[in-house]
Amino acid sequence: MRGKFITLEGIDGAGKSTHHAWLVDFLKRQGKDVVATREPGGTALGEKLRALLLSEPMHLETEALLMFAARREHLDKLILPALADGKWVVSDRFTDASYAYQGGGRGLAPEKIMALERWVQEDFQPDITFVFDLPTEIACGRLAKTGAAPDRFERETREFFERVRKAYLQRATVEPDRIKVIDSRLSIPEIEKQLEKIIATY
Ligand code: ADP
Ligand code: TYD
């Protein structure tokens, strides 16, 4: 049986990494064979592209093309073989991030992103996508508290993240069956309970 593909999305600082780790552990405790991964990244080449994407200034279309180049590799080398093997794949970000960041944030035309999406993944989509939703000022505050040096995206303006957040919420209204919005203002245990409840229906 094919495994399930779960993706986690949201603006920087919304709690994806925290709940990615929890979700992977939770699924393992349920006896599932789980592969934890992330985008951009997830393969040796993808991680090299990630390092460039998070540090080098570049044209917004170069950025979109490199995101999808890393994704092509990720699908071929990791995601599709793991799912075919019956494994569950949990990815910290996937294509919704391209619509939200390159589309919503940077203003790249959605038709261009759609063309890349069709090229790279045809009609392949995650089974479940969790969008961690948080007001940008709270996300900024949580990120600042971690003390980590901000990357090229994390240095963007509040307005940029407002547009990214709006794009995620807009996608969730169009695809409510796949995309579940999680209120990240809740406590970590409350969010875990919600994730558990949703996963139980799959
Ligand atoms: P992301 O991966 O989306 O950038 P993180 O998971 O790294 O976000 O979370 C950013 C910070 O916020 C971390 O310090 C984390 O411990 C904290 N955090 C995550 N979820 C919550 C929550 N529900 N309530 C309070 N703090 C949280
Ligand atoms: P992120 O998972 O947030 O890394 P970290 O939590 O370690 O900082 O991802 C890195 C950045 O990549 C993030 O700011 C969003 C951006 N990104 C895009 O702009 N488009 C995409 O398609 C993807 C997958 C990520």
Q: Measure the CA–CA gap between 48 and 33, rounded to whole angstroms.
A: 27
What residue owns the CA closest to ligand 1's atom 24? 187
pTM: 0.98
Å from CA of 40 to ligand 2 middle: 6
pLDDT of residue 110: 97
DSSP-derived letter for residue 187 is -
* Any ligand 1 atom below 6 A from CB of 13: yes
Beta strands in 59-186 (DSSP E): 88-92, 128-133, 179-183
In the CATH scheme, what architecture does the domain 5-199 have?
3-Layer(aba) Sandwich (3.40)
Q: Which ligand is nearest to the CA of 106?
A: 2
Per-residue confidence band for 48, with pLDDT thresholds at 50, 70 and 90: very high
Half-sphere exposure of 92 (CA within 13 A, CB side): 20
Asked whether the predicted pLDDT for residue 138 surpasses 80, the reply is yes
| DSSP β-ladder status, 34-38 and 5-10 | unpaired
Q: What percent of the chain has pLDDT over 70?
A: 100
Q: Measure the CA–CA gap between 148 and 179, rounded to whole angstroms.
A: 29
Å from CA of 165 to ligand 2 middle: 13
- Render pLDDT for 163-191 as a digit per residue (tens, 0 to 9): 999 999 999 999 999 999 999 999 999 99
- Render pLDDT for 52-107 as a digit per residue (tens, 0 to 9): 999 999 999 999 999 999 999 999 999 999 999 999 999 999 999 999 999 999 99
* Any ligand 1 atom below 6 A from CB of 138: no
- Sequence spans of domains, the chain: 5-199
* Any ligand 1 atom below 6 A from CB of 182: no
